[in-house]
Amino acid sequence: MPTWKSRGLRGSTLEELINRTNERYLEQNLALIQKIPTPITPINIDKESRHITLAYFDQKSTVDYIGVVQGIPVCFDAKECATTTFTLENIHPHQVTFMENFEKQDGIAFFLIYFTSLNEFYYLPFRKLKEFWDRAENGGRKSFRHDELDPSYIISSKSLNGILVPYLESIQKDLDDRETLV
Binding residues, as ranges, are: 62, 64, 77, 95
Question: Which residues, other chains included, contact 42 with Cβ-Cβ below 8 Å and sequence gap of 6+?
Answer: 52, 54, 55
* Gap between the Cα atoms of 139 and 13, Å rounded: 34
Residues forming the annotated binding site for Mg(2+)?
A: 62, 64, 77, 95
The set of long-range contacts for 157-161, using a CB threshold of 8 Å and a minimum separation of 24, is: 157/119, 157/120, 157/121, 161/24, 161/28
Residue type for 12, please?
Answer: S
Burial letters for 17-53: b for 16+ Cβ neighbours within 10 Å, e otherwise? bbbebbebbeeeeebebeeeebebeeeeeeeeeeebe
